[in-house]
Chains A and B, each alone.
Chain A
Amino acid sequence: MTELSIHKVWIIAKREYLERVGTRSFLLSTFATPVFMGLLLIAPAMISASTARGIVSEGAGAARIVIACDNRALAELARGELIRHAGARYQPSVVSPASAGERERLDKLLDAGGIDGYVWLDAAARASRHVVFATALIGDFILQRRLGDALSYAFAADSMVKQGASAADVAATLEPVDLRAVRAGRPSSLYNAMRGAAVVLVLMFVMFFSLLSYGVMVMRSVMEEKHARISEVLLCAASAQELMTGKILGTGSVGLTQIAAWFAMAAFGASRSPYLRAAMTALDVGPSLIVYFVVFYILGYLLYSAIFASVGAIFNSIDEAQQWNFVVILPLIAASAMILPVATAPDSPLSLAVSIFPFCSPILMFERLAVHPPPLWQIALSLVLLVAAIGAAMLICGRIYRTGVLMYGKRPTIRELSRWLRHA
């Protein structure tokens, strides 16, 4: 193994960086992605806020729900509860008594579009608490949940009233609990689970796609040099290790530039948008989390880009490589599937295992750091394993790269690959 010339690595990395950072696709992805993300974060908040302010006008478009029940008091309780929680979104009405003829009429009305749904509360339904809600809005799970809540409330309130409780007693007893999560050790800061989860997801998304797209960029760049026979000229002037290292560092710097730009834009956005600010304070996106993000991004990128570089060296066309890309990114996909399990049980043995596994740790250990910081030894272990994996990948993939970039024509078999490894 020859010594690495830092000077040559620098020249190669600089060329790689300058060529990519000036492209239109880089500028587009740098500026369009955060705008899209911002909309994704802000839009739901904006919509619910405008609903609360009554921008969505009363009556128009509100779901017309009929509550049919022999017990008018029970039906009225459910109706009142629905209105109290959902305001203008629903337009509930009561039909009593609930006769067979009435049900026929409601079915026809539902078919004709005169109503959006009805709840059938006959004696059997009241006894068993299995209630049928016939509706055209079969996909509106929020309506269904609210209706269920309102009915549960009505059953409880009705039985309390029958036992002689006053309306005030009923309201006080059945007042729902307002659960507020705060971050451990920081009871003053209110944790908004929805917004917190959204920010974690955005960061995961950025990590996942940056690892993927910059890894693939390294692969394409290797392929281009191989295809245009540039590798041959370069290998006369620089060693294979210098070439691969320079290429990985140059492309990686492009990725870091993009992420830095995104953080800067997020900071700017937070200074302008209360929603974004709320989302970020909810998660305490502080300096340490950003440092962790950058560290895990860099290490994850080094691991994956080394593998992608060797894939680029093995194959002669993007089409050929595409199928194998899938194998390379499989652990990344597995990691993204683990995001939810890790979020709900960050300290489980499974979460520990996947967050120290080098191919997943950049995403999942970072996630644990974001939702519930793990013990220090676990962080250290995942970093040590990750660095060891990078060392191994650089060694193995460097050998494949060195031989592969000069091999044209048919793609090698597994046996040939193992020979490259032994003889390189």
Chain B
Amino acid sequence: MTPTVELIRVRKSYGGFTAVDDLSFEIPPAHIFGLLGPNGAGKTSTIRMMVGITGPDSGCVRIFGEPFSRRALHRVGYLPEERGLYRRMTVGDNLVFLGRLAGLSVATAKERIGAWARRLEIADWIDRRVEELSKGMQQKIQFIAALLHDPDLIVMDEPFAGLDPVNTMQLKDVLVGLRTAGKSILFSTHRMDQVERLCDSICLIDRGKSVLQGSLGEIKAGNGRRFVQIDYEGDGRFLCGNPLVDSLNDYGNHAEIRLKPGADPQELLRTAARGLRVLRFQVMDPSLEQIFIDRIAGADD
């Protein structure tokens, strides 16, 4: 299947500063892709090249199977990191304007705005001016604006920034629904917990370079199952100095353990069962956050 977006050895610099350095990845249809990285890693610069705001200095951006052209943009929805709405216009007028620019007729735009407003529970706000809205509310409006023209590629820069948990959940549901409908979604974030529950695959970038990419499952497997949590009764002191254990947080009846590379968690369980009454023993996937910190910190060394 043709990937929706393909970045091939893309490089972009501003003045003397290289924002994106030899970056390649692809996003298939019906796929949620997470672009991760610390602040200033080059996420926004990467995104801007996918939505035609800037072009790469070298390398190639392909979109819907063809080299990038502005004609493809009517199939792309973009939610920028910062809110971009006319403050003195009403929500409805803002959305109609953006819908018209994206190629919709006024009637179609209004119809879709109505449907989205009901779905995201903001129908009462349509006739209000944007300046009366909270930041989170503006974020939802912007979200709708990006989706009005039913794009096949949806690019969102930090879509959940500033949203409360209820609204975050609402928008996540929308994104999952769009994936089911066959849309490709790329979003950038520095919040790992959001990615774990939503993304099919990720690309972690740091200083413009790809540090880690692939499907979420592969990445976690590749980084080893080295984390164990034990709830126990008894004397847990034997865990200190155990040859299997790399590091330990012991809370008396709960211990969080990181195993040494190559150590078998089953062996630890057997050892523990001999000395303790084990209430719960769980082998954990490393959290993405952990991988992220390891990789970024590793790059610093």
A residues within 8 Å of B by Cβ? 2, 8, 11-12, 15, 19, 224, 228-239, 406, 416, 419
Contact = CB atoms under 8 A, between A and B. Distances in A.
Interface in B35-89: 48, 51-54, 70, 73, 76, 78, 80-89
Nearest to A412: B15
A12 B101 CA distance: 8
B6 to A, nearest CB: 19
Contact of A11 (B80, B87, B101): B101
B70 A239 contact: yes
A233 B86 contact: no
B51 A236 contact: yes
A236 B15 contact: no
Contacts, number: 58
Contact of A228 (B73, B81, B83, B145): B83
B100 interface: yes
For the complex of A and B, 10 pairs with smallest distance between CB atoms: A229-B82, A233-B84, A237-B101, A230-B84, A236-B78, A232-B80, A229-B84, A236-B51, A235-B53, A11-B100
A419 B15 contact: yes
Given A19-B86, A228-B83, 6 more contacts: A11-B100, A229-B83, A230-B85, A233-B84, A234-B101, A236-B76
A231 B101 CA distance: 13
Interface of B: 15, 48, 51-54, 70, 73, 76, 78, 80-89, 97-98, 100-102, 142, 145
21 contacts: A2-B70, A11-B97, A15-B86, A229-B80, A229-B81, A229-B84, A230-B85, A230-B86, A231-B84, A232-B84, A233-B98, A233-B142, A236-B53, A236-B73, A236-B76, A237-B73, A237-B101, A238-B101, A406-B53, A406-B54, A416-B15
A235 B101 CA distance: 10
Contacts of B52: 235-236
Contacts of A419: 15
B285 to A, nearest CB: 36
Contacts of B101: 8, 11-12, 234, 237-238
Contacts of A231: 84
Contacts of B83: 228-229
A228 B78 contact: no
B102 A237 contact: yes
B120 to A, nearest CB: 18
A149 to B, nearest CB: 61
Contacts of A232: 53, 80, 82, 84
Contacts of A238: 101
Task: Tell me which of A8, A228, A233, A236 has the highest count of chain B C-beta atoms within 10 A of its own C-beta.
Answer: A236
A12 B54 CA distance: 21
A231 B84 CA distance: 7
A11 B96 CA distance: 10
Task: Tell me which of A224, A233, A406 has the highest count of chain B C-beta atoms within 10 A of its own C-beta.
Answer: A233
Nearest to B74: A237
Contacts of A11: 97, 100-101
A318 to B, nearest CB: 15
B89 A19 contact: yes
